[in-house]
Amino acid sequence: MTSMNKMIDGKMYAGKLLEEIYPLSKQFLKNFNRKPCLSVILVGDNPASKIYIKNKIIAANNYGLQSNEILLTSDVSEEELIQQISMLNRDEKVDGILVQLPLPKHISEKKVIDVINPSKDVDGFHPTNIGKLFMGNPNFVPCTPLGCLYMLKHEIEDIKGKNAVIIGRSNIVGKPMASLLLSSDCTVTITHSRTKNIQEHTRKADILIVAVGIPAMIDETFIKPGAIVIDVGINRLEPKNKHNASNKNILIGDVHFEKVLNTAKKITPVPGGVGPMTIACLIHNTVKAAYINKKHDFINVLEGIL
């Protein structure tokens, strides 16, 4: 099998999901005389966050959404940010609210997420949405794990009973990913920085999800032959770095792609794997929020996934 055959093409899957959503966003405009609207708040000038926001807004505009970008300086107070979110909560023309993380240290992410109206929480981070997910009754599901699940359900004929191992236990990736896989009848193990002998767990994984934030940490010694590997990591490397011999900045994942390629059955690349799916799921969640906020049925384009 060539490396191309082993690649899980996140761009292709994202395109497929977006093409299914686009008619729904066009229909929303016809029904309600406005586009589904996503408001994005960026605090400060973190270069990676700026790129993520730019890509999200481009996709929103391309697929029939209106987007509003609210830029706040890094010295904005927690109270001012919360007031801004409360205004968006009240605005009937705003369907989805996204606060780009991380926030400056003086602002509590937890407090900020708690303020977002759960029915506009298109990132799926509000405790109400996380609770629903863990109760097996998902409403807005965090975009990155949702995108991973979408690819897995297309790549694996029958996911039931598979051993799934996740490296990383963050609230935005590892934990919701575990819940989604559990609901899909996988046997799920979550590992983290305090896990002893991590390879003992990962070598049993039919499905390995890696969300750590350490460039190329995972090599072939972590992989069960024939495993499906999903690399969530996005690491920006400067030129002439340990993993970057080139003269320009590059993006790499948490998985050493070349070393894992021979052992794994399928693997997502970075870039072009999980990243595009995260954006597609954000557009999906926003269109869904728009219909729900208008108390209108939303056609479930994720039938068989969620």
What token pair was written down for 11? 């761009």
**Residue 168, C-beta contacts closer than 8 angstroms, at least 6 positions apart:** 174, 190, 191, 192, 209, 210, 211, 212, 213, 232
* CA neighbor of 7 nearest in space, from 275, 269, 258: 269
Distance CA 246, CA 237 (A): 10
56 is catalytic: yes
The conformation of residue 100, written as its DSSP 8-state character, comes to P
> Which one of the listed residues 121, 123, 231, 254 is annotated catalytic?
123
Does position 118 interact with ligand NAP (CB under 6 A)? The reply is: no
Q: Which of 34, 54, 110, 192 binds ligand NAP (CB under 6 A)?
A: 192
Q: Which of 278, 285, 286, 293 binds ligand NAP (CB under 6 A)?
A: 278
Q: Which of 139, 144, 163, 268 binds ligand NAP (CB under 6 A)?
A: 144
Q: Which of 30, 194, 240, 248 binds ligand NAP (CB under 6 A)?
A: 194
Does position 174 interact with ligand NAP (CB under 6 A)? The reply is: yes
Taking phi first (over 0 means left), then psi (-120 to 50 degrees means alpha), and beta for anything else, what does residue 46 get? beta
Residue 280 CB, nearest approach to ligand NAP (Å) = 11
100 is catalytic: yes
What token pair was written down for 157? 């004929």
> For residue 98, how many other CB atoms are within 10 A of its CB?
25
How many chain residues touch ligand NAP (CB under 6 A)? Answer: 24
**Taken in order 30, 31, 34, 39, is the CA torsion positive or negative?**
negative
Does position 275 interact with ligand NAP (CB under 6 A)? The reply is: yes
- The half-sphere exposure of 37 on its side-chain side, counting CA atoms within 13 A, is 15
Does position 179 interact with ligand NAP (CB under 6 A)? The reply is: no
Residue 94 CB, nearest approach to ligand NAP (Å) = 23
Q: Which of 213, 237, 259, 294 binds ligand NAP (CB under 6 A)?
A: 213
Cβ(85)–Cβ(116) below 8 Å: yes
Cβ(227)–Cβ(265) below 8 Å: yes
Residue 211 CB, nearest approach to ligand NAP (Å) = 4
Nearer to ligand NAP, 94 or 232 (CB): 232
Q: Which of 170, 183, 187, 199 binds ligand NAP (CB under 6 A)?
A: 170
123 is catalytic: yes
> Which one of the listed residues 6, 35, 56, 120 is annotated catalytic?
56
> Which one of the listed residues 84, 100, 224, 265 is annotated catalytic?
100
Stretch that binds ligand NAP, among 76-84, 107-115, 209-217, 257-265 (CB under 6 A): 209-217
Does position 167 interact with ligand NAP (CB under 6 A)? The reply is: yes
Does position 212 interact with ligand NAP (CB under 6 A)? The reply is: yes
**Residue 297, C-beta contacts closer than 8 angstroms, at least 6 positions apart:** 291
Residue 30 CB, nearest approach to ligand NAP (Å) = 31
* CA neighbor of 234 nearest in space, from 99, 104, 144, 121: 144
Does position 290 interact with ligand NAP (CB under 6 A)? The reply is: no
Question: In angstroms, how far is CA 269 from the centroid of its own chain?
Answer: 15
Catalytic residue positions, numbered: 56, 100, 123
Residues that bind ligand NAP (CB under 6 A): 144, 167-170, 172-174, 191-194, 198, 211-214, 232-235, 274-275, 278
